[in-house]
Structure 1
Amino acid sequence: MNDVPDGDPTVIRVDQFFPHPPAKVWRALTEPALLAQWQMRGAEAFRLEVGHRYTMTSVPRPNADFSGTVDVEVLAFEPQRMLRLRWTDADPANSADWTVTWKVEQEGRGTRLFLVHEGFDPDDPAQLMARTIMDGGWRTHVMRALGRMMERI
């Protein structure tokens, strides 16, 4: 049906090994000053508090119904282990309403970081385009930026 790497058009799954301890990876995911170095503009407004809301901005992608502004809400977290966020497009005309979950697991002397980005509508061509763009972005740009930032701290 769709050219989807893991076979599920509703989800992006990424796992990445980092040669850093879990505490360092957790800091990179949850400290606003560090988030600002590798995530979208506005990530510095993050607070590790369920219910906290903030806004991030990026490049608009009209072909994927993305306005360039994402409203974020912290849904849940387990310190040093898991962070779950809700991402919605700031433009209510766009259909993006996703859940992004990060899981941190020790692996040897390093950390395995898991990302699950879910909620894509397989019947919406713009959502499928968004999934394709974001799948590539998470795997390449974001994980590389995160790794480079952790090398510096």
Structure 2
Amino acid sequence: MNETLTLHPDGRTTVRMQRRLPHPPDKVWRAITQPEHLAAWFPAEVTIDGDRITYGFGPDGRITQHDPPHVFAHTWGDDHLRWELQPDGPHGTLLSFTHTFTDRHGAASFTTGWHTCIMAMLAHLDGRPFHHDPAAMARLHDDYIHILGLDPVTVDDDTVRLERQLTRPADDVWQHLGGDHATAGQTPPAPFTVSGVPAGPVMRAETGKILEYATERGTVRWELTEGTGHGARLILTCTGDPSVADDWRIRMEELASELTSFTK
């Protein structure tokens, strides 16, 4: 695998992936541009009418570059996708793919999805079935967090903030953390805490959404929101002591690992 992440001054993010495919560019070109082939691997139903592309969900797009069989680029709402094909030996293709988007913390989810799509495209080109493995995708997602350097922690004055895309929906995360046992005025369930931050009483608990509690120096707030793909986005803030950033970073890694094997 070969992936890089670029952050742009305007706040947008680009993921770039390269794959070597044992098929000639003309054949790969058909797979990335013809709806009857896209149906075998692309994550949405595609209809092309001139330079307009409609998808089975989400906003429409426009073709921004069409240079057969070398470059095919198009928008999908505010996102931009670009596929570049170069000959690789007598019968192969070097595929370079870029996806530019605004949600930096969704990069691992996007990259996992596109890796899986390209593997499905390769299976289609090979003429063999492709088997989707959600557990393997969850593990790959967390690998991409590290491969792409997506450190979830920022520190601003006395506030530590972590944001991370998770691989499970909010209700599963809440259940795993023991959120249903949170009671206002009582100490929060242990999975919501770290040893470096003595926990005080729960101040607010909204099932599947928010748990907030007091500490000796400030507050801790766990918030689960809609994320990229099928998982929730976790936003955690701890005020009062910026020195505990590593404690929360470690706890976030532990939680991500636990969720890959969590069962109801």
TM-score by length of 2: 0.36
Matched-pair contact (CA < 8 Å) for 1:15–1:113: yes
Question: Which of 3, 14, 22 is residue 162 of structure 2 equivalent to?
Answer: 14
Residue 176 of structure 2 aligns with which residue? Answer: 28
Count of aligned pairs: 107
Residue 142 of structure 1 aligns with which residue? Answer: 251
Give matches, 1:112-151, under 5 Å: 112-120=233-241, 131-132=242-243, 134-139=244-249, 141-151=250-260
- Give the Å deviation of 1:29: 2.7
Matched-pair contact (CA < 8 Å) for 2:167–2:260: no
RMSD: 2.8
- Give the Å deviation of 1:54: 6.6
Pairing 1:79–2:207 present:
yes
> Unmatched 5+ residue regions in structure 1?
33-46, 60-67, 89-96, 121-130
Name the CA distance, whole Å, in 1 between partners of 2:189 and 2:162. 23
Moved over 6 A (4+): 54-59
Tell me: higher relative CO, structure 1 or 2? Use CA pairs within 8 A at least 6 residues apart.
1
Percentage of identical aligned residues: 23
Pairing 1:152–2:261 present:
yes
- Give the Å deviation of 1:25: 1.2
Which amino acid in the other structure matches residue 21 of structure 1?
P
Cα distance change, pair 20–54 in 1 and its aligned pair in 2 (3 A): closer
> Unmatched 5+ residue regions in structure 2?
1-152
Residue 198 of structure 2 aligns with which residue? Answer: 70
Residue 98 of structure 1 aligns with which residue? Answer: 218
Pairing 1:52–2:186 present:
yes
TM-score by length of 1: 0.59
Larger Rg: 2
Name the CA distance, whole Å, in 2 between partners of 1:20 and 1:118. 26
- Give the Å deviation of 1:102: 0.4
Name the CA distance, whole Å, in 1 between partners of 2:248 and 2:161. 9
